[in-house]
Chains A and B, each alone.
Chain A
Amino acid sequence: MSAVAMKDEQAGKVEMATARSQAYGLLASVFRAEPSREFIDELRGPRFAGALASLDVDLGRDFEIASAEALREDLGIEFTRLFMGPGEHISPHESIFVEVDGEAGGLYGAITVKVKKFIETTGLVYDDAFTGLPDHVSVELEFMGRLSEFEAEKWADGDDEGARYCLSVQKMFAEEHLLRWIPQFCEQVIARADLPFYREMARITNEFVDFDYESIEKSLA
């Protein structure tokens, strides 16, 4: 391989890892909290509209024409209803979906501790301002994003071994955690969402996580 070709390949890997990181970051934002006004504006902007259209995402007419404030209110209520309750809701935590034989399930279960430990062994810590639980869906997505971001840096530094190692850590986290419950979680969101926004975001998330795992496997092959 020529030097130029190698450089191109390197750039492609940096680009891919960066892109993955950005996608994870976006999806983490979607599930972290009710959308802000700015976030809604961006999602309704031309760049996003194109990306969503190519994914056959239809967020509905209301999403396009409602006032940003009304949309923010509606999505806030929908977010609360879907993910917080009180009463009927989907508790967006891995420990609610995944059973570990012989260990306690339920909110803040043994699996929650496993997620926390996995994340903390990478040197990351939970931000003091974060009031969610350690295995919240948005944390796991953000963590994958952070790993991809780190991977991109390694590729850019020419540290291929480090980058591949980082990919193997992503694969491990996906296998041990993300893939074990995201499909079910997304399925429930799709089934219970009233507004198209979370339904479509859940669909994209499911497809993305699946696609991304294949990408990781290919990269490591």
Chain B
Amino acid sequence: MNKMNRRKFMQFAAASGAAFTAGAGVSGNALAGSIKLEEGGRDFSPKTGKERKAIPTACWQCVTRDAAIGYVEDGRVVKLEGNPNSIRTLGKLCARGQAGVNQVYFPDRILYPMQRVGKRGEHKWKRISWDEALDTIASKLKPLRDAGTPELFMYQYGRHKASQAATMYDFMAAYGTKTIGNHTSVCEAAKWVGQESLWGGMYDNWDYDNTDFVVNFGSNQFETHTNHIPTAQRLIRAMVDRGVPLYTFDVRLSNTAAKSTRWLPIKPGTDGLVALAMVNVIMNENLYKRDHFKFMRVTEDYHASVDDKIAAVKAQVAEFTPELAEKESTVPADAIREIARGFAKANSACLVSYRGAVMHYHGADSERAMMLLAAVTNNLDRPGGRVMGVGAGWKHPKSKPAKVHKALHINDGFPGEAAYPTHHVSHRVFDMIKDGNEGRPQVYWWSCYNPAYINGNNSEVTEIFKDEKLMPFLITSNIVYDETSSLADIILPDVTYLERWDWEDMVSGNQIAEYYIRQPLVKPLGEARCQGDVWPELAKRLGFELAWSDKEDFVRQSCEMTPGVREAGGFEYMKKHGVWHDPNDKGNYGFYEASVDVGGDGVILDEKTGVYWNWKKSGASSAADAKAKGYLGTEGAKSGYVAQNIDGKAYLAYPPNTKFTKSGLLDFYSDNFIAKGLPAFPTYTPVPEHQKMGSDDMIMTTYKTAVHTHSRTAHCKWLVEMKHDNPAWINTVTAEARGIKNGDKIKVKSDVGEFATTAYVTEGIIPGVIAVSHSLGRKYSGVYASGKSSPIDGGASPDPDAKNIWWKTHGTHPNVAIPNWSDPISGTQRWMDTVVRVSKA
């Protein structure tokens, strides 16, 4: 080695100096100003004391989005905790939320715009400037818009909500594309579709503060839930302080099941049947409450008496005996009877259902069965019952929409695949693109979404992304190099949620809406930019203007426009306090009982359905025309819905404010379902594949744990330290029959794929089922997620903490073996239906 000496050094330095004289060095220095060293005059000790600031903000680790406080020390986020002034969270934040610090500072974060220079998946990139990136993107988007084909630009998101979604939708409307995909079909679409068919767009929450009894089908509420912190603490408080019983039906002894009064192991896909059997017990033992029946429709007749309706429900559920339910579900008939009686006799009771119950074939109908159980016991929209979730109703600026506004029809699955895909069939988008019959987007942009990881049969998704003929131009906004962003053409460095502005609106736990905001704790690292700051810049390049200049401006304007928040002090108030609620709000209950004035101009009564509707708001040409065609026969009539006539009184009831055309009654007898060849009344439809299982076959289900989301937390080191492995749960008897012992390597194989994992042999799962959590087993996403550090792909050079990684496992991902299929009612991904063969590896 030729070590440097003074002569060589001087020669090198002279050349260096010449390079600078020629102006050939870098365009700008990092440091500005001038040095002012004065001997003894300055303190050079870095130990100068630290300043800590507390800034109200909001979490984004999961959809619960708790109001939070971020502590910033010397410009670094050092700690996150709940905002004590939040009525939703009561100052609490879960482990995931507290690990949000890791999102900002993990070593693999993408900090600069990147352009692909090799083949897709070859991992060859070139840094580009934001100007180059946006110019390139504009050069792709502008011709599509100019040609009148804006729908060929598709945007798809996983977790966008509140102002993050509103800013994106505003831009897309101004651009003109309605080809916007989401992720709800992999989340809980079946639940929403089941509910919409009954009580419209009023999604449920559970009033634990006032309840006396809780029955839970397939929700792991103490560990993970769509509204985890607001609900979990209220439920546990009800149990501890007031002795409220909780009965949990789950295939697995989740931590929720473990903390329940009783865990009832249940075979996958039979939750709806058990709920119907409970209705059977309640009806046969005359334990029902008459109150809600007048708001229910249970036969073809809209005007049936309560007694007739009671008789009809009895008849409808007669076949669903506890003994039948026991045979199908393995839940003992006696337990069904006992819980049904307790549920019906309680002053108030909450019926909880989530993914375990609904992510199945006909999952939407199972949700309808859940609603029936709540309705016959008068536990809908009443204190202590299954209530309508309330969130903040923000007003916000809106830009001028484009003249041409179109969509490619690739969001709702193949023709006939789903009867009511009201929340889309997002997991089938790539199959639709491959098929091509409904057209293909020329530009596809995604954010906060990782379909090559989270989708069923995800290796197929990877292949579709790699094919430039199928997906010509791919853009992602991302913070991490993951399974899908690694296949992009341009990667835009997104900010983390702790570096951006938002207003937030998630459902409250106590029926009082909370308005809250997210504000940046620190400046974005590197060249990361919030999408809400990018849209206005991109709009300018495309030749139109938005009604807001950046995300902060959007939030500021929204605060000044929103009644209540505005009077409280608007943006400045929200920046200081983070949260606001109306102190006079008594909580939202009994919405359906409100009396309505039906004397308005154009309001007529539809004799058949008992609906008061305003024909002038419905698109009917005249009153006579409206009357002739009737409410159900007039297209657009539901937008003129005013009230439901019940026994001569006009009630607001349950308006049809979704895609379902219905009366104001709870549509347990559904013309919509009949029209699509689906069961009119909630019923039990066995999962077809489960009827054809061989003796060696098993059913595989998936689940989340307390410290991870599906795909956005594996790079959070604090969380993977707590949970970095996901062995497959398998019952002792089932394992023994296959010669499998605890800790054995096993192979799980389905018709679409297979994976290897280890067995966790336990009594805590129903025989015949294998359960694997779905948050681990990352191919990329950095050293903490994948365990791989450079030069193996997937990670930056690990930070000093990486040497403290004491664990050797990084989990496996089961989705490779789960088909990418749909519930024929809602289009939801059937996560819990997969038939597999399990053997010792």
Mark A residues whose CB is within 8 Å of B.
15, 18-20, 22-23, 25-29, 32-34, 36, 38-39, 41-43, 47-48, 50-52, 54-56, 73, 76-77, 79-81, 84-91, 95-99, 104-110, 112-114, 116-119, 121-133, 136, 138-139, 142-143, 146-147, 150, 161-162, 165-166, 169, 172, 176, 188, 192, 204, 207-208, 210-211, 215
The complex places the Cα of A26 from the Cα of B112 at a distance, in Å, of 23
Q: Which residues of A contact B109 (CB under 8 A)?
A: 107
Tell whether A121 pairs with B43 under 8 Å between CB atoms, given A87-B793, A106-B105, A116-B75.
Answer: yes
Inter-chain pairs besides A85-B481, A123-B36, 6 sampled, C-beta below 8 Å = A32-B30, A80-B125, A84-B111, A88-B791, A106-B107, A112-B76
Contact A108 B104, beta carbon cutoff 8 Å: yes
Tell whether A84 pairs with B114 under 8 Å between CB atoms, given A23-B9, A106-B106, A211-B4.
Answer: yes
Contact B790 A20, beta carbon cutoff 8 Å: no
A selection of 6 A-B contacts at a CB cut-off of 8 Å is: A22-B13, A89-B790, A91-B107, A107-B104, A136-B30, A204-B4
Interchain nearest-CB distance for B26 vs A (Å): 4
B: interface residue count bin: 35 or more
The complex places the Cα of A36 from the Cα of B15 at a distance, in Å, of 17
The complex places the Cα of A76 from the Cα of B30 at a distance, in Å, of 19
Tell whether A54 pairs with B799 under 8 Å between CB atoms, given A81-B124, A129-B28, A192-B791.
Answer: no
Contact B44 A121, beta carbon cutoff 8 Å: yes
Tell whether A47 pairs with B15 under 8 Å between CB atoms, given A122-B37, A147-B35.
Answer: yes
- Tell me which of B8, B43, B481, B795 has the highest count of chain A C-beta atoms within 10 A of its own C-beta: B8
Q: Which residues of B contact A95 (CB under 8 A)?
A: 799
Q: Which residues of A contact B35 (CB under 8 A)?
A: 122-124, 146-147, 150, 166
SS of B interface (majority):
loop
Q: Which residues of A contact B2 (CB under 8 A)?
A: 55-56
Contact B799 A77, beta carbon cutoff 8 Å: no
Pick the contact of A124 from B27, B33, B780 — CB < 8 Å? B33
The complex places the Cα of A143 from the Cα of B1 at a distance, in Å, of 28
Interchain nearest-CB distance for A209 vs B (Å): 10
Interchain nearest-CB distance for A25 vs B (Å): 6
Contact B14 A132, beta carbon cutoff 8 Å: no
Pick the contact of A84 from B11, B127, B795 — CB < 8 Å? B127
Contact A55 B15, beta carbon cutoff 8 Å: no
Pick the contact of A23 from B16, B25, B485 — CB < 8 Å? B16
Contact A51 B14, beta carbon cutoff 8 Å: yes
B147 touches A (CB below 8 Å): no
Q: Which residues of A contact B44 (CB under 8 A)?
A: 118, 121, 169, 172
The complex places the Cα of A77 from the Cα of B117 at a distance, in Å, of 8
Pick the contact of B34 from A123, A132, A176 — CB < 8 Å? A123
Interchain nearest-CB distance for B286 vs A (Å): 64
The complex places the Cα of A208 from the Cα of B5 at a distance, in Å, of 9
Hey, what's the 0/1 contact readout for B116-143 against A, CB within 8 Å counting as 1?
A: 0100000111110000000000000000
Q: Which residues of B contact A56 (CB under 8 A)?
A: 2
B811 touches A (CB below 8 Å): no
Contact A89 B16, beta carbon cutoff 8 Å: no
The complex places the Cα of A119 from the Cα of B104 at a distance, in Å, of 23
Interchain nearest-CB distance for B475 vs A (Å): 14
The complex places the Cα of A99 from the Cα of B794 at a distance, in Å, of 23
Contact A26 B20, beta carbon cutoff 8 Å: yes
Contact B127 A79, beta carbon cutoff 8 Å: yes
Contact B526 A131, beta carbon cutoff 8 Å: yes
Hey, what's the 0/1 contact readout for B761-774 against A, CB within 8 Å counting as 1?
A: 00000000000000
Pick the contact of A51 from B11, B117, B780 — CB < 8 Å? B11
- Top 7 nearest A-B pairs by Cβ distance? A19-B13, A26-B16, A99-B800, A86-B481, A123-B36, A22-B17, A105-B800
Residue of B nearest to A32 (CB): B26
Q: Which residues of A contact B125 (CB under 8 A)?
A: 77, 80-81, 84-86
Q: Which residues of B contact A43 (CB under 8 A)?
A: 19
